[in-house]
Each structure stands twice: as C-alpha cells, then as structure tokens.
A and B are shown apart, each in its own frame.
Chain A
Amino acid sequence: MKKVLIVDDASFMRMTISMMLKKHEFEIVGEAENGIEGVEKYKELRPNIVTMDITMPKMSGIEALRQIREFDPNANVIMITAMGQEILVREAVLNGAKSFLVKPFKEEQVVQAIKKVLAIN
C-alpha cells in the first residue's frame, strides 16, 4: 500500500482527502497542519507521496516543499491550491512539485494524479 502524508491547515480538507484516498487503497501515514509539521513528518514517516496545501500558517506549502525536496530530491509532492494562486503554483512547479490540484477537485482527480505521479516516479 502506498503511503500518503496530508499537509493542510484545514481539518476539513485533511479529512476530505483522507476519505477520498482510503477508498483507493492508499495508507494515510500522517497528517500535518502547517509546513513545519509537514517537513518533520516527512522526515519521520518517509511517505511515497505528499499532498501539500499552499497557504498555511507558520510555514507555507512552498517553503515546506523546498525543505522536503532538499532533504529528499526524489520526494513526490502534489500541491493543493485554489483559483487565484497561479503565481504560487508556478513557483511550486519550479521548486519540484510533481503536479497540482485546484479546489474544488473530485475524488477521481486526486486519485488519478497520485497514481500517475507514483507510476512515473
């Protein structure tokens, strides 16, 4: 079973993504509510993939992405974003994000994105 870490400051979003993925045989190994926690949990849990919100308190998703990729250049990180954040998404792509999902997204979109990223890498 592939291991997923969900990093999002909104409990609702963590729960939604978790529920979506559990139906498709992914194991949610951890959740984090800000970038700092996200980086720490990545190092501790070594998931196969991370879903990373962009706008978070304490440390943004972009900075967390940078730190995770610094620690593990092969890290698979998919950014979770919303309309209006095009600049940040572009920055995330430049910093090694494997893809991005725009809210509101559907279950099949998040599953497809994760499966494809894992298949490629």
Chain B
Amino acid sequence: MNHPCESGWEAYRADCARLHPSDQVLENVYDRTIRKNRPRRGLLRPATILAAVALLFVVAAGAVTYQVHRSAWVHPADLSEAESVGFHYPASLGEYVPESMSRLHCAPTGSSDRQALLEPDYCWYSMIYRLDENRSMGIQFGSMDNPLWSEVTETDPDTEVWYPQEPGSENFTRENLQVVEYRGCSICLDDFCQTFPDPEPEGPEKIRDAEAQWLDRESGLWFSVQFYGTLSSSDGYRREVGGVSQEELLGYVRTIVDGQRGQT
C-alpha cells in the first residue's frame, strides 16, 4: 500500500474514476421521465408500425446503412416543426389530433439512445387525423433527402413509380395495388391486410386498410397515409375496421397534395 499522503491518492482517484452505476439505472430513469411523456400508445401506432416495417425491410434488404434506431425514441412534436421541413397541413382536412403529432428519431445502426435523441441523423413525422368516432387516418412524412424511404421502396426503372416493398411476413400482405397520377405525384394505393392465424372469438380473421404512398418531388417530401379502424379501449389496438375504400382514401390524399401546392 502506498502511503496515503503520497501517490496513494492518485491510485484512489484512478479507482474512483472507474466506478459507475449499471446501465439499467439510466434506463429506469429514462423510462420514468422522458419515455413516460411519449404520446399515448394508440396514437404512437403509426410511427411504431412505420419503425417496425422499416426494420423488417432493413433486415430483408441486407446491406443497408440506416435503420430506425428505436421506436422508443418517438417524441412529441408540433405542427410548426413539421412545417419547417416543408409540410403544409391542409385546413380543409379538418383538425388533426394535437397530441398525435410525433417525431421519429433516426440514427445510424448501433447508435446509443443519447445519440438518437440528441443527434439524430434525421427525423420523420407522424400525425393522426380523426375521420369520425371509429376511424382515423395516420399521416407520415419525411424529407426525400433522408435515406430511409428509399430503403423501404422498390422503384420501377421504366416509370420511376415508387412501390412499397412486400411486407416480408405471411401475416401481412398488400393487395389491389394501383397507381394514380395527381398533380405530378404518382400515388401508389393498396390494401394493407393483416391476417390473424388464431383470431379471437368474434374478432376479425383479416383486417384490411387502404393505404397510400407517394413522393411529392415539388416539396421534396415522402408521404405515407393509412386508415385505422376503431381503437380498442382495452389495449389501444384496433379490433374493428371501417371498411374504408381506396377511393375514399384517394380523396384525402388529393387534399394533402393540394395543401402542399398551397390550396387549403
């Protein structure tokens, strides 16, 4: 043992510098602070679906650089923030659910929570518009400059129309795919279907939601819009479907495109 009055204190300081709590301590703190303030679970669904689907595609695509870091890093946002990336919410669409506006942080694979939160490479945005008591519409968008949208798409080399990739799971399929041109945008419409192999009693065996995706090259944004059915009060997940048609969805999509062109 070194004499405590001499170099011993240097060794003591070196030992102290190596002391640290377990990572679980910070995880617990974040769970009780920042993550507790996330939007409600049901309202998070579009973003988490987006993250999950994106991850699915990332895995399928193999050699890719980016992925959505963690769905946990979805944070409340406001419309002014979305407007700063070039999004114009069309007033004619009606009022969106204010607390549904959220920001999805994207950071390189292997990033820490801290990096994803403080230094995201880019963000996507998500909001929900309530159509009526039983039906909602999720709107997601992000800059075309950001790489994630291109990872989850397949482009027809002849027409340069963007199609969503196959979901990569037999429980999820895309059916009745069609492309509609509107004001310079190739809008890809389809029915996104989820099959329940073991449906609950009186529950649906298959739910079908119209969805649309398009690139708005004029505003430089990527868009994705989906319908949602009734949110169950028990777990926040939908159990019934309003049977929304692609035609009805296209009407809302046109309103959004018009909004981007300054026609609200």
The yes or no verdict on A and B being binding partners is no
